[in-house]
A and B are shown apart, each in its own frame.
Chain A
Amino acid sequence: MGSDGELADAGGQRLIDAYRMQMLRKAALLIACIAGIVLVVGLLSVHSYSSISLRESYEVIWNHIAGNEYPRRSDMWWADTYIWNRAMPHALAAIAAGAGLACCGSLMQSLMGNPLADPYSTGISSGAALGAIAAIVMGVSVTTLAGGGTVVNAFLGAMVPAIIIIAISERISMTPATLILIGTALSMFFGSLIAIIMVSTNPESLQEAYLWQVGNMNNIDDFGWDCIPVMLGVTAAGSVVAMLLAGKLNVMSLGDKSAQSLGIDVKRFRTLALTLMALMTAAIVAFVGILGFVGLVCPHIVRLLTGSDNKFVIPISMAVGAFILLITDYVSVVVGSLPIGVVISCIGAPIFFLLIVFSRNSGKGALY
């Protein structure tokens, strides 16, 4: 005890306070996102059946979950039908896609140690696009499920570059930067195949192919609840696995050599993480096309506000991603003529720009 002890106590108390502030910030961000999600779900519901109010729409949803039924053909019954068959699949798809892409984005950025990495850095997007475009333009598809051909094609197409990269990284040890370069090369290659198809086809098919690529909710509009189990299931399972990997991911961000000396099998970990990300991203992209920005920008926003500990960054960026994509879907539905991919570009590009502007002075390492 004595003066030393008192000083130590004061310092210790400051540390505890600072720590509590940090945790509060994280909790606040998470709660804000969840609140926002709930709000936008309500807004979507109101939009799909405009003669009910916001509060009533929550009532409808709650009643449906609770299993209560409305008298048939009543006003509320129609609201229930519209909301559950139109708005809810949209909402759930947006939540699943946003959460999944953001989770993969934060995984990728930590794994590759590159702030510009996103789920598509391994060339998955062009593989998926090639599969989808083959189905749309040439009618070539693996299954004959009506309309499902594009989805399955896109999924399989996405796995091709993923398998190539995973096989390469398994056999040959290489730095993350080289892996991304290989992903870029694969993107280029598949992109050229896509270009060959797109320039040789008629304008209508070209337009359809482009709209698929940009990212849209047409599958959700057409098929409703059929899409949701896969998207939600894969996202949920994938995020659980990601959370389990979060601790090791923190260690990986120290660099390959440090991680190895701390006991992580870098190669195997990377293979596992890449496989996980490939499956999650492919499952999402197969249904909604190539939605950009969510995977790139959400982890940065979260890191800017709450630091880089992956145990928090992964779940919170999932919440942020779900929220942002939900807003995007709402805007897209209200405006009507813009697919969700275009809206997310219009939202994401300025956000990215602002991130660069704001992160320059702070040392919190948002972007660099």
Chain B
Amino acid sequence: MKRLDTPPDAPGAVAFDIRTAYARERNRNVLFMLAMVAVSVVMFLVTLGIGTYHISVSDAIWVFFDHLLGREVDPEDDYYVWGEKIGRVPRALGAVVAGVGLAVGGVIMQNILRNPLAEPYTMGISSGAMFGATLSIGLGISLVPFVNGSYATIANAFILSLVPLTIILLISFFKRVTPTMMILTGIAIMYLFGAITQIVMVTSSSETMQNIYSWEIGSLVRFNWERLPAVTAIVVVLSILLYLCASRLDVMYAGERAAQSLGLKVNVFRLSVLVLTSFLTAAIVCVVGAIGFIGLVAPHIARIFVGSSNRYLMPAAAAFGVAFLLTADTVAKIFTLPVGVFSSLLGGPLFMYILISQRKRAWM
């Protein structure tokens, strides 16, 4: 329409400004996503070259592509980079998967609980997983028969991390569950699990305690080719499902009454989204441990750049999560420390800086 393209008549001028503003914002969203993806790709390639085995970054990249393309590769290099069981490629892919899953989980949690402090672990998932790991490592108890060792830890962690969800679902049969109630129940269960875990840890030997503690910190080294496919499948499927709910999440964020009057079955929707997110988080945490920061902060940081609309926020947060986790893992490998340490070390000050500089615009 010609009117929109010509500057100032009174109504035409307004339309003109809105159009450019919208275009500018959309470009900013796209730029942010591209930037995050670029960082992710770069860090993915760089991390292939970092580790205890000496190989230069460029050589590692060649090995990566040669293997992919089916060409001849030096078997030793290939072993360390691509890995028979453990290797840098599955670890890096694990970082991608975990970054996506935790970030998406964080976006959803903050949305349905309508609380800026919410994160995937708010429902007590991490404490359940920790308790499961403590049962397995500390007491040798496995909830799934015939499984032991690290598989028992994973199975225990997965099952127990879903206990809070189960309790909330049970409560929801008797009465309406509000977001606040969900948070409080999750916290109460976290405290309960924490107390029992404490008892076990305090009464166990120092070696056992060290094992449990290292599990809890969160390390991507546990991602190998055996565990990667299952976790990837779960994360991909659930993330896509959750992304399909994006517009409905926006509607819910407007408030319960508004959402209901717009036709959304709020309670059912909230609980079903919670179930999906819990499985998503549990799948990651049971393998990796509780890597902090990403679920809480990736949504906030992404929100600063792309706004609160979930259609953009979810992919943006996921992209940031991946970029951040890959970077943190690379640093972790250089210092041979678990990645959970660095996600908090880098993340804490970063988060503070963002909070202080953006306080008026970020959340409220």
Q: For residue A345, which residue of chain B has the nearest CB?
A: B195
Distance A190 CA – B347 CA, assembled complex (angstroms): 11
The total number of A-B Cβ pairs within 8 Å is 137
Chain B residues near A260 (CB-CB < 8 A): none
Closest to B357 in A: A172
Q: Specify which chain B residues have a CB less than 8 angstroms from the CB of A180 in the assembled complex.
A: 117
Looking at B48-56, B59-67, B207-215, B266-274, the stretch in contact with chain A turns out to be B207-215
For the complex, what is the distance from the CA of A365 to the CA of B82, rounded to whole Å? 57
Alpha-carbon distance between A140 and B347 when the two chains are bound, in angstroms: 26
* Interface 1/0 per residue, B192-225 and A, CB below 8 Å: 1011101101110111011001100100000000
Is the beta-carbon distance between A196 and B337 smaller than 8 angstroms? yes
Which residues does chain A contribute within 8 Å of B199, judged by CB atoms?
338, 342, 346
A349 touches B213 (CB 8 A): no
Are B364 and A177 in contact (CB-based, < 8 A)? yes
Contact with B along A102-141 (1 / 0, CB 8 A): 0000000000000010000000000000000000000000
Which residue of B is nearest A164, CB measured? B352
CB-CB under 8 A from A282, the residues of chain B are none
Q: A199–B210 Cα gap in the complex (Å)?
A: 8
Question: Does A195 contact B117, Cβ atoms closer than 8 Å?
Answer: no
User: What's the Cα separation between A356 and B364 when bound, in Å?
Assistant: 27
Residue of B whose beta carbon sits closest to that of A184: B117
B352 touches A192 (CB 8 A): no
Binds A, one of B32-40, B86-94, B135-143, B338-346: B338-346
Size of the A side of the interface (Cβ < 8 Å), in residues, is 50
Contact assessment for A182 and B207 in the assembled complex, using a CB-CB cutoff below 8 Å: no
Residues of A within 8 A of B205 (CB): 203
Contact A338 B185 (CB under 8 A): no
**What are 10 A-B pairs with beta-carbon distances under 8 A?**
A177-B363, A182-B352, A185-B351, A185-B352, A195-B341, A199-B217, A199-B337, A338-B203, A345-B198, A346-B196
Using a CB–CB cutoff of 8 Å, the interface residues on chain B facing chain A are 116-117, 175, 180-181, 184-185, 187-189, 191-192, 194-196, 198-199, 201-203, 205-207, 209-210, 213-214, 217, 292-293, 296, 337-338, 340-345, 347-349, 351-352, 355-356, 359, 363-364
- The chain A residues found within 8 Å of chain B, CB to CB, are 116, 168, 172, 174-175, 177-178, 180-182, 184-193, 195-196, 198-200, 203-204, 206-207, 210-211, 214, 292-293, 337-339, 341-342, 345-346, 348-350, 352-353, 356, 360, 367-368
